[in-house]
Structure 1
Amino acid sequence: MTIRPRRSGHFIQISTIGGRRAQPGLAAYQTTAWAVGGFFEILARELAPIGIHATVLEPGGIRTARAQRPLPAKGWQVEYEPTVGRFARTYQRNPDVQRGDPAKIAEAVLRLTAEPNPPARLLLGSDAVWLAPRIAAARATEDAAWRDLSLSTDHDGLPDFTSTEVARMVRP
């Protein structure tokens, strides 16, 4: 029997805290993570009413064979040295950016599957836990700084959006 007729089960996708970040030098990698995170957050909301869970795991750096391979440390244009170059050199074999223990992550996943109300997103590692609220705060600060310009783009004469049926439906 498949998962939907049973009305139970749990989809788990491993992504990265990079799905919330915008780190120069990791554009392709983090763009994919943004998509996966968004998809799983939507999937979690769509499946919850029928008893199926979906969680995207967002670990920070994990000490794996992939993480031990060096990032390209040169080959970009000089203009990218302060961003891409600096990141690549700092990341190289640095234990501060490879904090996650794969065995402990596996234990956390097993625990997660036993939870009756698991999250749509789960941060893993002290680096991810430290980064996530800072990323959210920076985005909120930028949104607030540009609020007036953002609001100026609505058609004239409309009621405040927060009082609409659509707003009541789409609130997180």
Structure 2
Amino acid sequence: MEKVWFITGSSRGLGRSLTEAVLAIGDKVAATARNTDSLIDLKNKYPGQVYVIKLDVTDYPAVHKAIADTIACFGRIDVLVNNAGFGITGAVEAYTDEQVYSQLQTNLYAPIEITRAVLPYMRKQRSGHILQISSIGGRVGSGGISIYQAAKFGLSGFSEGLAVEVAPLGIKITSVEPGGFRTDWAGDSMTYAPHIAGYETTVDVRMDAFKSGNFKPIGDPNKAARVMIDIVNDAEPPLHLLLGSEAVAIVKHSEAAKLKELEKWETISTSTDADDAENFLETEHGKRYLSLKK
């Protein structure tokens, strides 16, 4: 049975690659973007199969209308892909208030609101799959994009909690966490905070790499699109999906370092338990927590 996808940020980058791949296999797509001019070719190539919607994901009334209009057009939404997003490179203290807020609004608040808008329909269907396009920056911190990473860490955490809530409803959640891909994310789509001195070996290194035009990620967005389609068609999709060997290598290194730090400080950490505290893993709360994480 063909699926109906709702994809934000469909006009460029990973969103465009995914939209094309989904249409190519015969599924239907509500393709949204702030500027829909670049989607006209898909509308002409796949008449009746693609529903193009001009949408600013931070306009919440428009978001709810877009979801309702998609249901009216196609009858259902099987897959939501929260893909729209952008980054601003700079030192935290250099960001303007607007640069901080706009990144959180687009990269975190908007995906949460779009998810909230689609959940009633998926709950009624007792089925659905939500792909939250997070980032390797939602798993591991690095200098120069801290506010972007705050949003992506938040999105990955939101996805974990949501997955527990909606599992009994037949709804699946996957936090997609790409490394660097050959899109314009670090090119034309990237903007910068004002430069300030003192961050030459951290923030400036990333800024210079992006601005030089020599930054060449290793990820192929078309391959990523095919993987995401496969994940949606898998009976047991992952909660977290890393994309790219870069992402896998970085997360492996980071998780090993975190475990080492945890073990180093474990005695100090556990020393704060009350004297009469039970072993957490033997409590009802502990048993329930472990059962949810299976």
**Higher mean displacement: 121-130 or 99-108:** 99-108
Q: 2:236 aligns with which of 97, 111, 117?
A: 117
Partner of 1:76 in structure 2? 196
1:94 aligned to 2:215?
yes
Match of 1:131 among 216, 229, 250: 250
- 1:144 partnered with 2:277: no
For structure 1, the 5+ residue unaligned runs are: none
Instruction: Please list the CA deviations of residues 50-77 of structure 1 after superposition, one character each: whole Å capped at 9, or x if unmatched.
Output: 2111111000011112222466598222
Contact map agreement 1:71 1:88 (CA 8 A) in 2: no
**How far apart are 1:45 and its partner, in Å?**
2.0
- Aligned residues of 1:73 and 1:88 also touching (Cα < 8 A): no
Provide the C-alpha distance between the structure 2 equivalents of 1:90 and 1:71, rounded to a whole number of angstroms: 13
Q: CA offsets, 1:97-116, max 9 Å, x none?
A: x1222211111111111111
1:10: how far off?
0.6
Identity %: 38
Tell me the distance in 1 between the aligned counterparts of 2:184 and 2:277.
Answer: 56
Residues 90 and 73 of structure 1: CA distance in aligned 2, closer, same or farther (over 3 Å): farther
- Richer in helix (by share): 1
Measure the CA separation in 2 of the matches of 1:153 and 1:40.
Answer: 30
After TM superposition, what 4+ stretches of structure 1 lie above 6 angstroms from structure 2?
none
**Residue of structure 1 in register with 2:286 after alignment:** 167
Residue 62 of structure 1, aligned match among 175, 181, 185: 181
Q: How far apart are the structure 1 equivalents of 2:132 and 2:285?
A: 30
Provide the residue aligned with 2:160 in structure 1: 41
* SS of aligned partner of 2:130: strand
- Looking at structure 2, the residues matched to 53 and 9 of structure 1 have their Cα atoms a distance apart, in angstroms, of 6
Q: Where does structure 2 lack aligned partners over 5 or more consecutive residues?
A: 1-75, 77-120
Q: Which amino acid is 1:114 matched to? A: N
Contact 1:7 1:52 in 2 (8 A): yes
Paired residues for 1:16-55 under 5 Å: 16-55=135-174
- Counterpart CA distance in 1 for 2:196 and 2:265 is 33
Please report how far the alpha carbon of residue 158 of structure 1 lies from its aligned counterpart in structure 2 after TM superposition: 1.5
How does the TM-score come out when normalised to structure 1? Answer: 0.89
Question: Given residue 77 of structure 1, which amino acid in structure 2 is its aligned partner?
Answer: A
Q: What is the identity, as a one-letter code, of the residue corresponding to 1:76?
A: I
| Correspondence for 2:134 among 15, 28, 31 | 15
With normalisation by structure 2, the TM-score equals 0.54
User: Counterpart of 2:9?
Assistant: none
Q: Which amino acid aligns with 2:285?
A: V
- Cα deviation code 1:113-136 (max 9, x no counterpart): 111111111011111111111111
Structure 1 SS opposite 2:202: helix
Higher relative contact order by CA 8 Å / sep ≥ 6: 1 or 2? Answer: 1
- Against the structure 1 CA distance between its residues 50 and 74, is the aligned structure 2 distance closer, same or farther, given a 3 Å change threshold? closer
